[in-house]
Amino acid sequence: MWQLAFRRIAIGFLLVWVVSVLIFAITQILPGDAAEIRLGQDATPESLAALRREMGLDRPAYVQYLVWLERLLSGNLGVSVAGGATITSLIEHRIGNTLFMAGMVSAIAIPISVTIGLLAAMFPGGLIDRIVTAATLGLVAVPDFLVAILLILILSVQLNWLPAVSYLSGTESFWQTLRAMALPIATLVTVVAAQMIRMTRAGVLNVMNSPYIEMAILKGVPRRRIILRHALPNAIGPIVNIIALNLAYLVSGVVVVETIFAYPGLAKLMVDGVQSRDMAVVQACGMIFCTTYIVLILVADIAAILSNPRLRHPK
Amino acid sequence: MTGDATKTAVEQPLDDPAFEELPDAPPRQRLKLSWAGKISVCIVALWVFIALAGSFIAPYHEAEFIEEDEQGNYYVDPSFLPPSAQTWLGTDYLGRDVFSRILWGARTTLGIAFAATMLAYMTGITLGITAAVAGGWTDMLLSRLDDALLAIPTIMLALIIIAAFGSSIPLLIALAGLVYAAGIFRIARALGQDIMVQDFVEAARARGEGLWWIITREILPNAAMPIATDFGLRLIFIILFISTLSFLGLGVQPPVADWGSMVRENLQGLGNGFSGGAIASLAPAAAIGSLTIAINLIVDDVSAHAGGSLAKKMI
Amino acid sequence: MTALLEVRDLWVSARKDDGSDQPIVKGVSFEVKPSEVVALIGESGSGKTTIALSALAFTKPGLEFTGGEVTLQGTDVLTMPRQEQRKLRGRRVAYLAQSAAATFNPALKIGEQVTESSVLHGILSQEEADRRAESLYRALELPDPERLGRRYPHQVSGGQLQRLMAAMALCGKPNLLVLDEPTTALDVTTQIEVLKAIKEVIREEGSAAIYVTHDLAVVAQIADHIVVLYNGAIQEQGPADQIINRPTHPYTRRLMAAVRPPPAAGEDAETDEPGQQRPPALEAKSISAGYRIASSGKPLALVLRDVNVAVKRGQVVGMIGESGCGKSTLARVFAGLLPAMGGEIALDGQALAPSLKDRSRDELRKVQIIFQMADTALNPRQRVGDIVGRPAQFYLGLKGEAKRKRVAELLQMVELPAAFAYRYPQELSGGQKQRVNLARALAADPDVLLCDEVTSALDTIVGANVIELLKSLRRDLNVSFVFISHDLSTVASFADEIVVLYAGRVVEQGPVNQVLSPPYHPYTRLLITSVPELRVGWLEDSMTTREAAAGIARAVEISAIGCPFSRRCPLSIEGTCDSELPPIRTPSPGHQIACHRSLGEI
C-alpha cells in the first residue's frame, strides 16, 4: 500500500515537472522571438541581438528552461510589465486572498454537498431526492457568471444587502471582509456544490445498490447504521475523488468570480496578465495554480488508497 | 406481434411447449422523453434555428447603433435603454439592440462550440480507439500524454495559450478542441477496451476479420449510444468554456456579437437595475443557461433510457 | 405439528415503466414445519428467489407483494409495520445469499459482520456472539477459528466465505434459514464440502430452512420436502423421496430427465476408427501458454504447461477440470487468440502458426470457437441473419440469395425458425442465443468445433437440449469437437475421450470408459466422487467413502515443480511428489495417467 502511495507521489512530481516544461514551451518557445515582440516592427538588428543576449534568448532552449526554472524556484520572477512592481510581491499580496476564498468555499461547500448528497441517496425517489436532483441537474449546466449576475441583481441591486464589488484594501475589519466576500463565495458554493451533490449522490447510490447492503437489510440492520457503518466506509474513496475532481470547477469558478467582483486575487492577476500579455506573471500564476491542483488531486488519490481495505490489509 | 412470433418460434424445436425456457428480455424500448426533455428539445431546436437564421430575422445588424426612436427623435444617450417596442430587450452599453445581438450571437456561440466539439471528437475518438486497439507502446505514449494534459485545469491551459498566441476564433476552436479531446480520448479508449474484450469481438478476431471491420462493424455501433450522450455533455462544457473565455475578454473579440462577451461588456449596466442596463447583461447569460440546461435535460433523459451504467462512465 | 412458516396464495408483481403490473409469482402456497428443509426448485425466471425472500418480507427493487399472506409462527410478516419486519430479519429468519464474495462488505471485518445481527437484535452480548461465532467456525471446519473474525473478507477464499455466510446466518439462532443457491457459484469439489458443512450445522442447530436451487442432485441431498416451480407457479410438491423417485408432474419428469446420470464407465463405444491412419484433426504438442505483462513481454503466469492433446477426426474430446485449470486457455490457444509460448499446434498434421494473424483464412475456417456466454458472444447491434451470414460470406464467399439460403439452412440445423434471421440477439432467450452461436460456427463449415462451457450458463433442460443438438450434428456432419466443461457428467455423456486438466497440466487422458474406471488419477477420482448423485442419502455415503477430507477443501495451489496436485493429494509421497514431475503411466493403449504411485496403488 505504501509502495503504491509513494508511486503516486513520484508520479505527482513528474507531472509537475511535465507541466512546467509545457508552460515554458507554450509561453516562451512557441510564440517566436520574444525580443522581436518586445521591440516591435522598427527594431534594428543590433538592438535585437543585444536584447536577445540580455534576455538569454541566444542560448539553447533547455538552458533557457533551466534558467527560468531556477528563477521560478528561487522566487526571483522579475518585474511586471504593467505596474513595475516585482512579480513576487504582487503574488505574495494576492495569493492569500485567493487561498482564503477557495478555503472558505471548500469549508462551506464540502460538508453541505456531502450531507445533501447522502440525504438524497438515503431515500432515492423521495421528495428530497427529487428536489435535489432537479435543482442540481439545472445548476450544473449554468454558467458561473449567470449565478453571479442573478445574485448581484437580487441581493445587491434590488435588496441592497451586500456590496456588488469585493475590493479589499487590506484595512477592513474581519466583518467587513466577510461582507465583501459574501457574494463571490455564495456564487462559488452554488456552482461547486451542485456538481458535488450530484456526484456524491451517484457515488453513494452505487454503493447502496451493492449486494452487501441488501444483505445488511436482510440482517435487520437499521437504516441509519446501514448508511453510516456499511455504506459510508465504502463510499469514502469515491467521495474524496469527487471532491478532488470538483476542484477543477473551483479553479475555473475562481477565475470568473474574481473578475466579476474585482476581487484582488491571484486569478484576477493572471487574467490581467493574459490581457496585457505579461508572460512572467502568466507563467508564475499558471505554475502556482497547476501545482496546487496536482497536489490536491494527489492528496485525494492517496486518501482513496488509504481508505481501501484491500490495500490497507493485504492478504 | 413480436410476442406471438416468440411463442410459435419456441414451440417448433421443442417437444413440450408448455415448459419451455422462459422468454428473455423484451425487445428494445423506444426512447421516451420526459416533459422537461420535450420542452428542452424545443428550446435547443429554437436556438439552432436562430443560429442558422438569426442574422436574417434580427431587426438590426449586430454592430448597428440605435440613434433615433421610432418617431425619428434622436436619443441623447442611446446606451442602456430599457426594453421597448423598438428594442425588445433594450440597448447595450454602446446603444446597440440587445435582442438583435443575441440573435446574431447565437451563430457565433453555437458555431464555435459545435465546431470545437466536432474537432475534439474527431481527435479524441480517433486517438482513443487507436490506443485501445493498438495497445502496447502506442497506448502507453498516448495515455501518458493525455494524463499530462488532464493534469492542467482546462481554464489554466486556455489562459496560458491565449497569453502566448492572442485570441481569435480559429484559435478558440482549436484550443477548445484540444482541451476537450483529452477527456474524450479517455472515454473512447475505455469504451474501446471494454468492447475489445467482449466475446463478440473475440469471435470476430478469431474469424480473422481485419481491424477496419472490427472497429466499424463491431465496436462503433456499440459505442454509439454512450458517445452520443457524451457528445451532449461535452457540448455543454465547451459552450460554457468558450463563454467563460469571452466573458473574461479573452474569447471572441468585439464588435462580433457573442453571448459571453455581451455579458462582460454590459456588466456595468447591472447596477442600474432592471429599468436600464441589467437586462443587457442578464439576457445573454440567460440565453447560455437556457441552452446548456436544455441540452443537459435531454442528455439526462437519454442516459436514463440507456441505463445507469452510462452515467457512471461519463463522470 | 403446526407449521413454522405458512405461505398462502402469494402473488408478487413487477411494476413496469408504463405503470402496469406483471405477475412474477402467481398464487403460491406451501409450508415449512419446524426443523424441516424445504427446497424450492426451478429454473431461471421461476420466481424461486422471490418466493424465498417473502419469508423475510423483502422484495427486490421493482417488485411488490400484491396478494396472499406469509405467516411466521402465527403472524403475517407482509402486513407487519416496518420496524417489526426489521426485527424479524436476522433474528427469526436469516438469509444466505448465492455469492458470498459480493455479499460480504469489503470494508468491515468478518467477525463484526458475522455477529452484527445477533448483537443488534439484543440476542447475545458482543462477547457471547464472538464465542458463538468461533464455535460455528469450528463446526464449519474453517481454518484458524480464533483469529478468523479479525480478518477482512478479501483475505479468505470463496469457499470459506460461503461457509462464513452460513455462520453469519446461524449466529443469531434463527428459527428459519433461507438459503439462496449457496453452492452454485462454487467448484464441484468445494461444493460438496460446503453442502456437507451446511447440512450438518442445520441439523445440529435444529433450525428449519428454505433451500433455493436449480440443481436437483443437490436438493436430493438436503431437502425433506420439495416444491417444484415453473414460471411463478407450483407444479408439484411433496416429500423429497416421492418427488425424486416417483415424480408425477410432466415438468418434474422433464427436469429429472435433463439431469445426466453420474459419470460411469459404460459399454465400449464403437471401436472402428478408420481415421487412425490419418493424422488427428487437431493436435497440441507440448503446448505452454500464459498471459503476458503488457510492456515487459515476460509471462505473468504460465497457465498451461507441456500439454499434449490429439483430437481425432469426427471425435469428441472432453476437457475437464476446475476453474482456473487452464481449459479455456487451451481453447484460446487452439483458436490462435492466445499465441502459445512453447510447443506446436497441428491441423490435419500440418503445423499451424501460433497467432491467428499468421494463419490463412482457410486454416481459420477449419477451427471455430463457441464461447460460454451466449449473451456477450453475439453483437447486440447485428441481426441474427448478419451474424450467421458473415462467416459464410467471409470464408466461403456466399452473397445475396445464396447467403440468405445458407442462413436459413443453418438456422434449421440448429432447430431455429428461419424468421429468426431478422431478430436482434436481445430478442432471443439464452438457449436460442447459444443456438445462434452454434449456427455461426457451423456457417464456416469447420473441421473442429471448440465448445467452451457452452451449456454452463444455461438452465438444466435448455442445456440438455443443446447437448442433444450437438450430438445429432456430430452424427450428421462428421465434425470433431473439443468440448470443455467443468461438469463431468455432461462431458461423460458426450465425449469419446476425456482429458483431465489440473493447474495447467494434463493429469490423465484416455477413452471415456477407461478414464472413468480404475485405475484413476487421484484427482480424477476426487472429481468423480464429487458429482452428486440424484439419490437421497448420497452425501452421507460419499463422505464415508471419500478421500480423506483434509486436503480437499484447500484452494488450488499451483506449484511449478513436482506434481501439480501434490498439495491436495491424499496419496502424496513427501519428497517425491512435491519435487519431481510424475512419470506417465499407461494402463492400456491410449490411456495415460501422470502419477508417481504405481497403477496398483491408484
Residue B198 has pLDDT above 50, yes or no: yes
Contact C97, A211 (CB under 8 A): yes
Average pLDDT estimate for C414-435: 86
Domain membership flag for residue C126: no
Q: Inspect the interface and report whether the beta carbons of A274 and B244 lie closer than 8 Å.
A: no
List CB contacts (< 8 A) between B137 and chain C. 295
Domain membership flag for residue C558: no
Q: pLDDT value at position A274?
A: 86
Q: Is A81 helix (H, G, I), strand (E, B) or coil?
A: coil
Residue A186 has pLDDT above 80, yes or no: yes
Question: Which H helix or E strand runs over C308?
Answer: strand C299-311
The reply to whether C412 and C287 lie within a common domain is: yes
What domain range includes position C192?
Answer: 5-103+176-258
**Helix A232-260, helix A174-208: angle, nearest 10:** 140
Q: Inspect the interface and report whether the beta carbons of A141 and B295 lie closer than 8 Å.
A: yes
Range among A30-44, A119-133, B72-86 rated most confident: A119-133
Q: Inspect the interface and report whether the beta carbons of C152 and A313 lie closer than 8 Å.
A: yes
Q: Does B71 touch chain C (CB under 8 A)?
A: no
List CB contacts (< 8 A) between A22 and chain B. 148, 152
**Site from C429, C455, C473 to mutate, B interface, most B CB atoms within 10 angstroms:** C429
Residue C123 has pLDDT above 70, yes or no: yes
Cis link prior to A233 (omega < 30° from 0)? no
Q: Each residue of C22-36: pLDDT tens digit? A: 888 888 999 999 888
> In this structure, are strands C225-230 and C233-239 parallel, antiparallel, or unpaired?
antiparallel
Q: Inspect the interface and report whether the beta carbons of C91 and A212 lie closer than 8 Å.
A: no
The C-alpha cell of A139 is what? 445548476
Q: Partners for B (CB, 8 Å, 3+ pairs)?
A: A, C
Mean residue pLDDT of chain B comes to 78
The C-alpha cell of C164 is what? 462464513
The residue of chain B nearest to residue C357, with distances taken between CA atoms, is B208
Domains and CATH numbers, chain A: 14-74 (no CATH), 87-312 (1.10.3720.10)
The reply to whether C321 and C417 lie within a common domain is: yes
Q: Does C420 touch chain B (CB under 8 A)?
A: yes
Count up the domains in chain C and report the number: 2
Q: Each residue of A26-58: pLDDT tens digit? A: 887 766 666 666 666 666 777 777 777 776 667
Q: pLDDT value at position C260?
A: 65
Residue where a domain terminates, one of C477, C508, C539:
C508
**Site from C44, C230, C427 to mutate, B interface, most B CB atoms within 10 angstroms:** C427
Residue where a domain terminates, one of C454, C473, C508:
C508
Q: Each residue of C292-348: pLDDT tens digit? A: 654 444 555 677 888 888 888 888 999 988 877 888 888 888 988 888 888 888 888
Closest partner residue to B250 (CB to CB) among A202, A274, A286 is A274
The reply to whether C246 and C298 lie within a common domain is: no
In percent, the amount of chain A with pLDDT more than 90 equals 2
Domain membership flag for residue C400: yes
Q: Inspect the interface and report whether the beta carbons of A282 and B163 lie closer than 8 Å.
A: yes
Q: pLDDT value at position A74?
A: 77
The reply to whether C492 and C459 lie within a common domain is: yes
Q: Partners for A (CB, 8 Å, 3+ pairs)?
A: B, C
The reply to whether C365 and C480 lie within a common domain is: yes
- Interatomic CA distance for residues A158 and A139, integer angstroms: 22
> In this structure, are strands C367-370 and C448-452 parallel, antiparallel, or unpaired?
parallel
How far apart, in Å, are the Cα atoms of C268 and each of C264, C272, C521?
Answer: 12, 11, 20
At residue C64, what are phi and psi to the nearest 5 degrees? -150, 150
The reply to whether C345 and C213 lie within a common domain is: no
The reply to whether C194 and C230 lie within a common domain is: yes
The reply to whether C327 and C458 lie within a common domain is: yes
User: Closest Cα of chain C to A219: distance in Å?
Assistant: 4
List CB contacts (< 8 A) between A234 and chain C. 105-107
Cis link prior to C519 (omega < 30° from 0)? yes
User: Closest Cα of chain B to C376: distance in Å?
Assistant: 5
Residue C272 has pLDDT above 50, yes or no: no
What's the ipTM?
A: 0.83
The residue of chain B nearest to residue C444, with distances taken between CA atoms, is B207
**Site from B11, B12, B21, B301 to mutate, C interface, most C CB atoms within 10 angstroms:** B21
At residue C421, what are phi and psi to the nearest 5 degrees? -60, -25
- Interatomic CA distance for residues A138 and A195, integer angstroms: 10
- Looking at B90-209, list the stretches that DSSP marks H as alpha helix, in order from N- to C-terminal side: 98-134, 136-150, 154-165, 169-196, 199-207
Domain membership flag for residue C538: no
List CB contacts (< 8 A) between C415 and chain B. 12-13
Query: Confidence band (pLDDT; 50, 70, 90) for B9?
Result: very low
Contact B66, B87 (CB under 8 A): yes
- Which residues share a beta bridge with B74? B68
Q: pLDDT value at position B28?
A: 53
> In this structure, are strands C93-96 and C316-320 parallel, antiparallel, or unpaired?
unpaired
Q: Is C311 helix (H, G, I), strand (E, B) or coil?
A: strand
Residue C397 identity: G
Domain membership flag for residue C58: yes
Closest partner residue to A230 (CB to CB) among C89, C99, C105 is C105
For residue B153, which of B76, B246, B227, B244 has the smallest C-alpha distance? B244
For residue B240, which of B187, B285, B182 has the smallest C-alpha distance? B285
User: Closest Cα of chain A to C78: distance in Å?
Assistant: 14
Q: Inspect the interface and report whether the beta carbons of C429 and B23 lie closer than 8 Å.
A: yes
Domain membership flag for residue C123: no
Residue B60 has pLDDT above 70, yes or no: yes
User: Closest Cα of chain B to A31: distance in Å?
Assistant: 6
Residue B120 has pLDDT above 90, yes or no: yes
The reply to whether C389 and C502 lie within a common domain is: yes
Closest partner residue to A234 (CB to CB) among C56, C106, C116 is C106
How far apart, in Å, are the Cα atoms of C469 and each of B21, B46, B302, C418, C421?
Answer: 16, 58, 41, 17, 19
Q: Which of A168-177, B293-302, C220-229 has the lowest mean pLDDT?
A: A168-177
In percent, the amount of chain B with pLDDT more than 90 equals 7
For residue C319, which of C498, C520, C479, C522 has the smallest C-alpha distance? C498
The reply to whether C287 and C236 lie within a common domain is: no
The reply to whether C348 and C381 lie within a common domain is: yes
Q: pLDDT value at position A25?
A: 84
Mean residue pLDDT of chain C comes to 83
Domain membership flag for residue C122: no
- Interatomic CA distance for residues C48 and C32, integer angstroms: 15
Domain membership flag for residue C21: yes
Q: Does C59 touch chain A (CB under 8 A)?
A: no
List CB contacts (< 8 A) between C87 and chain A. 220
Q: Does C11 touch chain B (CB under 8 A)?
A: no
Q: Does A126 touch chain C (CB under 8 A)?
A: no
List CB contacts (< 8 A) between A294 and chain B. 151
Q: Inspect the interface and report whether the beta carbons of B208 and C361 lie closer than 8 Å.
A: yes
Q: Which residue has the cell 437484535?
A: C121
Q: Does C444 touch chain B (CB under 8 A)?
A: yes
Q: pLDDT value at position C548?
A: 42
Radius of gyration of chain B (CA): 26
Q: Each residue of C226-266: pLDDT tens digit? A: 999 988 889 889 998 888 888 888 888 888 877 766 666 55
Q: Inspect the interface and report whether the beta carbons of B159 and A271 lie closer than 8 Å.
A: yes
Computed from CA positions of residues B7, B8, B14, B17, in that sequence, does the dihedral angle turn out positive or negative? positive
Average pLDDT estimate for C126-141: 88
List CB contacts (< 8 A) between B12 and chain C. 415-417
Q: Inspect the interface and report whether the beta carbons of B9 and C419 lie closer than 8 Å.
A: yes
In sequence order, what E strands does C104-232 have? Answer: 176-180, 208-213, 225-230
For residue C522, which of C587, C566, C463 has the smallest C-alpha distance? C566
- Interatomic CA distance for residues B196 and B220, integer angstroms: 11
Q: Each residue of C450-506: pLDDT tens digit? A: 998 888 878 888 888 888 889 888 888 888 999 998 888 888 888 899 999 888 888
Q: Which residue has the cell 448483537?
A: C119
- Which residues share a beta bridge with C239? C225
Question: Which H helix or E strand runs over C10?
Answer: strand C5-15
Q: Which of A73-82, A96-105, C78-87 has the lowest mean pLDDT?
A: A73-82
Q: Is A315 helix (H, G, I), strand (E, B) or coil?
A: coil
User: Closest Cα of chain A to C164: distance in Å?
Assistant: 14
* CATH number of C364's domain: 3.40.50.300
User: Closest Cα of chain A to B7: distance in Å?
Assistant: 34
Q: Which of A159-168, B24-33, C41-50, C125-134 has the lowest mean pLDDT?
A: B24-33
Q: Inspect the interface and report whether the beta carbons of B159 and A274 lie closer than 8 Å.
A: yes
Contact B80, B281 (CB under 8 A): no
In percent, the amount of chain A with pLDDT more than 70 equals 89
Q: pLDDT value at position B177?
A: 92
Residue C410 has pLDDT above 50, yes or no: yes
User: Closest Cα of chain B to A282: distance in Å?
Assistant: 7
Contact B60, B97 (CB under 8 A): yes
Q: Each residue of B18-46: pLDDT tens digit? A: 455 555 545 455 667 788 888 888 999 98
Residue where a domain terminates, one of C452, C480, C508:
C508
Q: Each residue of C491-518: pLDDT tens digit? A: 888 889 999 988 888 888 989 888 888 7
Q: Inspect the interface and report whether the beta carbons of B267 and A26 lie closer than 8 Å.
A: no
The reply to whether C377 and C485 lie within a common domain is: yes
